[in-house]
Chain A
């Protein structure tokens, strides 16, 4: 981590104190988490006082299945390598409340003058649908990025001037990038001769997993062991 990053981090810590929480990064990047209630205040100050004049990217993240794998790797199995990974998707969209750390909105900021980048993450809390303040008034580039996050994750941005779907079809139902939305989708389209128009019907293909998702503990990446190996 360079000095310039640390200087910036010190400035942010001093200015915002408890409002922003620094997250450790192994890649030398600066990441902060901010409570969604303070988001507008923090974003305004980051642009005005700290000098992040550009918002490079806004994206939604769904942490529903974070850290879960489809195939056990810690013990020996009798069935061996299995293609038939069957895992019923958990439909949570109807739930009254979400896990507070399920949805997050991640902002990537860039300061041209100081030549620095930082990342800001705001969890959307328990509400269904997830709601967070829009930053369009602070950085105009957020407009379409927030529309995209709304379209793909169903995150509502309060104060957005034109929160419409952007990437999916007209009249699309659901939010396709949520982890409980199946990869094959729910509906398929075909041309209906009788009706004389394109019609929707439930998907006819089977979901399949070609490579199961596995998580292996790799000691090479353990910080403590790595330091030892490096001497």
Chain B
């Protein structure tokens, strides 16, 4: 028999399991991996440098495009950093709306993750199930901001507008019969909150369906149990955050430990794993579905009871309404100044972190007192996770690389920035 020699193999960047544009240079011996060298940066857009050349509020849209499956959470990190520097307090209703949409985003992200991860390692059906629910959440984004993905809904000082009283409805067409449209519109008769509530009522049942498909599935377990094991000490040393850290059994969640907005007033649990393998991280994320659902429910209840402003009343930071602007000289001046020049943020530096679906998403902002940030540094969770790729796949088989990429929940928008 011929002696097997080690060789190098290229994986990606155009590979369906590479979750975008990951290029891996793998050193293999037979089918066992010795070393993996991820080459990133194929999606590098210099978001941070672009943000330095624009007034503060014009960069919110760039944040959506970082991690393009959890858009509003990225915005959240950025606006929190600006608010910290400006020293402003957001109205309570806006805080609840933000928390609600953060959790909707978390479900949105985890659905995408579960579907793609399943597809990568041979579970086709789960993808279709996940995308069914994802559609409803996309509709929520659209109803509140006008776009299905890149919302730009969070603004320094609150959110762009209050929740709408009606939900857009599907229309009958050549391709959709009246019966089908009626079924799809059944939950859309009331306000956005009614629709969210209907979603939270049915969603735990959907999670049960996913679990039926995967949790005790023999093939799923063979592909994930004891794959990519990370000890808690290593997880901390490697800068893991979010489900990657919790999967290793470290109980750390910014929503509980360093609560921002109104998380300290909400009731939810933090799931943690035991073994630190791909299967435990799967279980953690599935439990996060249920916990996010709980949080959304509480937010809906609160938002129904309490009305109020969703934006601070400070014309030096927040633009006046269109009607005011047409009517009042002072408002016109404010409007003009805000849109031609923006607002100056006092000199200083701030780091704001949110519990993003993937981990700790932080924005480090340095301002020298100008209308543009002096330095924006985006701390993307995926970047730290991907740097541990080599360590996680070492000694595994080639097919397990795909499972590890999946479990890290890599999205190149945020890794490359």
Contacts and interface: CB of A to CB of B under 8 A. Distances in A.
B402 interface: no
Nearest to A116: B258
A117 B84 CA distance: 15
Contacts of A69: 370
A139 B239 contact: yes
B87 A26 contact: yes
Interface string A48-85: 00000111110101100011010000000000010000
B199 interface: no
A215 B370 contact: yes
Interface in B203-251: 236-239, 241, 250
A118 B350 CA distance: 11
Interface stretch (A14-22, A91-99, A165-173): A165-173
Nearest to B45: A167
A177 B417 CA distance: 13
B239 to A, nearest CB: 3
A138 to B, nearest CB: 9
B48 interface: yes
B344 A55 contact: no
Contacts, number: 126
Contact of B49 (A81, A183, A220): A183
A167 B386 CA distance: 13
Given A115-B258, A183-B49, A216 B344 contact: yes
A67 B367 CA distance: 9
Contact of B379 (A57, A119, A139): A57
Nearest to B251: A112
Interface in B25-75: 40-41, 44, 46, 48-50, 53-55, 58
Given A81-B340, A218-B346, A139 B46 contact: no
A183 B372 CA distance: 14
Contact of A56 (B44, B50, B239, B316): B239
Nearest to B384: A141
Question: Which of A27, A56, A176, A215 is the most central at the interface, judged by chain B CB atoms within 10 Å of its CB?
Answer: A27
A217 B342 CA distance: 14
Nearest to B314: A220
A53 B245 CA distance: 13
A118 to B, nearest CB: 10
Given A115-B258, A167-B44, A216-B344, A56 B362 contact: yes
Contact of A177 (B48, B341, B372): B48
A67 B416 contact: no
A211 B337 CA distance: 11
B239 A141 contact: yes
B370 A26 contact: no
B80 to A, nearest CB: 11
Nearest to A138: B237
A144 B387 contact: yes
B78 to A, nearest CB: 15
Give chain B's interface residue range (CB within 8 Å of chain A): 35 or more
B370 A141 contact: no
A58 B339 CA distance: 33
Nearest to A143: B387
A166 B371 contact: no
A112 B250 contact: yes
A215 B341 CA distance: 10
B416 A57 contact: no
A124 interface: no
B238 A141 contact: yes
Contacts of B40: 166-167
Interface string B361-392: 01010101111101101010001101100000
Interface in A108-165: 108, 112, 115, 117, 119, 139-141, 143-145, 148, 165
Given A66-B374, A140-B239, 12 more contacts: A27-B85, A27-B348, A54-B236, A56-B239, A57-B362, A81-B340, A141-B237, A141-B238, A143-B387, A148-B383, A210-B54, A221-B346
9 contacts: A27-B350, A53-B237, A57-B379, A61-B375, A106-B377, A141-B239, A183-B50, A215-B369, A215-B370
Interface of B: 40-41, 44, 46, 48-50, 53-55, 58, 84-85, 87, 236-239, 241, 250, 252, 257-258, 316, 340-342, 344, 346, 348-351, 353, 360, 362, 364, 366, 368-372, 374-375, 377, 379, 383-384, 386-387, 416-417
Interface of A: 25-27, 29, 31, 53-57, 59, 61-62, 66-67, 69, 81, 106, 108, 112, 115, 117, 119, 139-141, 143-145, 148, 165-169, 176-177, 183, 209-211, 213-218, 220-221
